[in-house]
Structure 1
Amino acid sequence: MGVRHVKATNAAGTRTKIQVRDFDAAYTDEPASLGGTNSAPSPLETVLIALVGCDGVIINGVAKAMSFDYSGVDFACESQIDVRGPKGVPGIRPYFESGKLDITVYSNEPDERFRKLCKNVEFRCPVMNLFAAAKVDMTVTWTQKPAADYNGNVD
């Protein structure tokens, strides 16, 4: 079983300093419009970051297992939340109501193999499955474009 460790501190404000393994500290904050200092992504934005990051890792693993050749992936993700939920309004859940995830895979693989990759990623991705378990109404759209069209840079 994989164990993850995170330590954090919050000085009675909206900004939280987070330490994971031996990486530089990460931070979360809220936008100024919600009483924060807008110095870092919000905690819910980091959930979306986790979703696209996890999908990237799982796509890579599934592609290797399938010998699926691809040159890169682009993601666009958004979510909707009823802001009354985190304020404690009864009957309103304090997390995402819905979300939209667009995944563009740059590959020249046949459509049948592309669909198999998509199905396996959706089955295996831990964060995507957390959204499903929370009954977040997620719309996931997969698109395939030619491998030569990828121009992303992760550095």
Structure 2
Amino acid sequence: MIVYDTRFNSNEWFILGGLVLGFTVIYFLPKRFSKKHAVVYFMCGVFSGFFFDHSLSVEPRSFYDVNDTSKYEFMDFLSYFSYGSISYLFFYFYDRLYIHTSAGIAVYVLGWSLLSVGIEWLAVLVGVFHYQLGYKLAYSFPIYLIVQTCWVAFFCRYRKISEA
């Protein structure tokens, strides 16, 4: 087990600040979705974060550690809810902006992927992520592109099913 830090400091504050900010923004935005749909859109981020963190940061090839140690901790669990706020906002603004052209979708996904890399860069600076085995921030960009493209496809399909 690798220990990066033993104190409550910037990485924990970053996660807690992200949670408070995300939940506050969601709370004050005008409601666009039913509670059921809002939970589904929120959970897309929680699931995606959990899936990729546990695919890329587990032995035998752990490309990064999350937070203070290489062991799973409570703050790691809390961080997934920050991903939930981000996914909810992704779906919210996608629906609000009424994007339907291929070019519009590409620009939207590209913009959100760049924003996601920016947020991850900040998380690296404060010690939320610790890259290893040659992993670089740039490797996350295609993952965000794929995940957020899948979110758009899911949103379109889920809306059609819900309206039927």
Interval of TM-score (by shorter of Structure 1 and Structure 2): 0.3 to 0.5
TM-score, L = length of structure 2: 0.34
TM-score, L = length of structure 1: 0.36
By percentage of residues, which structure has more strand? 1
By percentage of residues, which structure has more helix? 2
> Greater Rg, structure 1 or structure 2?
1
